Amino acid sequence: MPLLILLLLVCCAGVLHAQAPTQPALPPGVVNTQRTNDHPLAPPEALKKITLPSGFNITLFAGEPDVMQPIAFDIDDRGRLWVVECFSYPDFKKQDSDRIVIYEDTDNDGRFDKRTVFFDKGHRLSGLTLGFGGVWVTSAPNLIFIPAGADDQPAGPPVPLLEGFTLKAGHNMVNGLAWGPDGWLYGRHGITTWSEVKPVGAPESDRVKLSCSIWRYHPTRKIFEVVTHGTTNPWGHDWDDEGQLFFSNNVIGHLWHVVPGAHYKRMFGEDFNPRVYDLMDATSDHLHWAGQDWGKSRTGQGALGGGHSHCGAMIYLGDNWPAEYRGAIFMGNIHGNRVLYDTLERKGSGYTGRHGTNFLMANDPWFRAVSMAYGPDGGVFVTDWNDLGECHDSDGTLRTSGRIYKITYGTPRPPAPADLAKLSDPELVKLQLHQNDWLVRHARRLLQERVAGGKLSPGARPALLKIFADSPEVPRKLRALWALHSIGAAETPWLELQLNHPSEHVRWWAVQLLVEGRAPSAEALKKFQHLARNDTSPLVRLALASALQRLPLADRWKIGENLAAHEADGTDQNLPLMIWYAIEPLVPVDRVRAVQLMGQCKLALVRQNIARRLAQN
């Protein structure tokens, strides 16, 4: 009997050893710097404390030691998570230890069962997205591209694409990365100090100065632009069903609507252009914390819950959660240890965010939701940096913790197909009609990749034009329009026709896309002048005010004069300022015409600013 028991114990030990998961370790040279003896709850225990609305389920997709310091992630065309583990923050010592790790859930049970280290020599990695055969990563001072092989390993060394992102920004470092509906790659930058960025290989004169901002880069034309200036430290952005972009921010307002060319209020300092005079405000009609002293909001007990710091904006457009959540913008509230959401409503030319409610309550002081996104089955992944420090600051920095949760409603349908990249062009076009925008976006990017590689079939354009013509829903028309633009098939005469479209959202996008190259046709300019005078939609007038900044100065006058003739826009939250930003450089060029415009203008703020600018020189 003793021998039999011994043999059984040995066998059981062997089975247990064989089933035990690998235990990833901290990279060489990385150590914990936690100042106290506090430790987080074990991931399964933390999971038990989380509360959600009725009907929702949450699983621990991954937890330490399998994931640590998860600062950003993206989901590939097969539904796998690619996660950045950022060990170089906050001291940024020269140790190439940051990792990109792939997590796969092969049986769709909400928990990963395969883990692959793709890259483990990173430094200052703060954001990533996938596409065009590899991984795009913010790695100050660069935006880099790492080509990916079929074996889930780099197919070559990292290639720097942009240079000049500052190394002095701390937790305000360049971050983000997500593909916009227009085919550009969008990112973010914080306020601490500025950067001067240009494409690698471009002349020094091409450097663009930016601090707190939203920026974009075109993957094939290699163009870098700043989209907006201002706020504090944007950390999270997403697009709604009509392609309007919103981002989450910290300290001076948690929600902002992106109007290209906008100059927003700042936490401190002055705008790069001292003659903008006035700055645009946040989109929300509320604060999540009580009072006006953000420095006292770190308890997480604000009037609407939480504190002043927000990360990981996600507008839910998946197909698993109830319809009431579609179009709401979710974000992690750092001090409140929760995920909450706002509802987006039209207001004048733009939007306002109204407080929804707390959605996920972690009931755990270590919970730090940094990023979130919905995937191919409509379920939502939420990363938890998991630390006691605020804004992943150096008063915490427990190196070995980190979690990823997955939130679903009821029993989600299994995701299909398994790999979008293997679909035909007609199948990708058809996905523009899918309810889950994750599939829509990936299919659109794949079509863009194929045209860039010269492999797109000629039937894609007529199929997309048919979707645009036949779909009764405006969001589906817009999807077709964006896909046409991404593959270079939204020709100028066709876009000019859309300036007469019944939908204000189609007209908005027609304006924006016609000025993308900064040289619209004479016909487009003529139509812009007509719309500026006669279009009844303040949203379209906002599109025109935004587009003015992309036009040569001589082409701005008539459009600007027509926009300034709408007296009802005088109290709009966006239009007077956006019109002023566009016409400000005109004033010193033609002072006589500026005086004439001041006399005709129906917008008090614009008149005052023209007079102020005239008085300066």
- Please say if the pLDDT value at position 22 is more than 90: no
pLDDT band at 418 (very low <50, low <70, confident <90, very high): confident
Q: Is 7 exposed, middle or buried (0-12, 13-18, 19+ CB in 10 A)?
A: exposed
Residue 603: partners with Cβ closer than 8 Å, 6 or more residues away: 564, 566, 567, 569, 570, 575, 576, 579
Res. 513 pLDDT band, cuts 50 70 90? very high
The predicted-structure confidence for 296-305, as pLDDT tens digits, reads as follows 666 656 567 6
Nearest 5°: CA angle at 565, between 562 and 566? Answer: 115
Q: Give Dmax (Cα) for the chain.
A: 108
Domains: count for the chain? 1
Does residue 76 form part of some domain? Answer: yes
Residue 522 lies in a domain: no
Residue 42 lies in a domain: no
Instruction: Give the helix/strand (H/E) hosting 577.
Output: helix 575-583
**Does 545 score more than 90 pLDDT?**
yes
| Whether pLDDT at 8 is above 50 | no
Six token digits for residue 151: 């074996």
DSSP structure class, residue 590: -
Q: Which residues contact 203 (CB under 8 A, 6 or more apart)?
A: none
Task: Kindly state the DSSP code that residue 379 receives in the 8-state scheme.
Answer: -
* Residue 459 is assigned to a structural domain of this protein: no
User: Is the residue at 318 inside a domain?
Assistant: yes
Residue 155's CATH number:
2.120.10.30
Q: Is residue 606 part of a domain?
A: no
What sections of 392-459 are H helices per DSSP? 425-430, 437-452
Q: What span, in angstroms and rounded, lies between the C-alpha atoms of 407 and 324? A: 16
Between CA 404 and CA 560 the distance in angstroms is 49
Please check whether residue 537 lies inside any domain of the structure: no
- pLDDT surpasses 60 at 410: yes
Residue 51 has pLDDT above 80, yes or no: yes
Evaluate whether residue 419 is within a structural domain: no
376-401 pLDDT, tens digit each = 999 999 999 998 876 545 555 678 89
Q: Are 266 and 232 in contact (CB under 8 A)?
A: yes
- Say what the pLDDT of residue 90 is: 78
Tens digit of each residue's pLDDT (9 = 90 or more) over 320-355 = 999 999 999 999 999 899 999 999 999 999 999 999
- Tell me the pLDDT tens digit for each residue of 551-606: 999 999 999 999 999 999 999 999 999 999 999 999 999 999 999 999 999 999 99
Query: Which residues span the domain enclosing 381?
Result: 57-409
Residue 76 has pLDDT above 90, yes or no: yes
Average pLDDT score over residue span 220-236: 97
Those residues with Cβ within 8 angstroms of residue 413's Cβ, 6 or more apart along the chain or in another chain: 320, 377, 378
Q: Following DSSP, what letter does each residue of 216-239 receive, concatenated? A: EE-TTT--EEEEEEEES----EEE
Q: How confident is the model at residue 415 (pLDDT cuts 50, 70, 90)?
A: confident
Residue 33's pLDDT is 62
pLDDT at 37 over 60: no
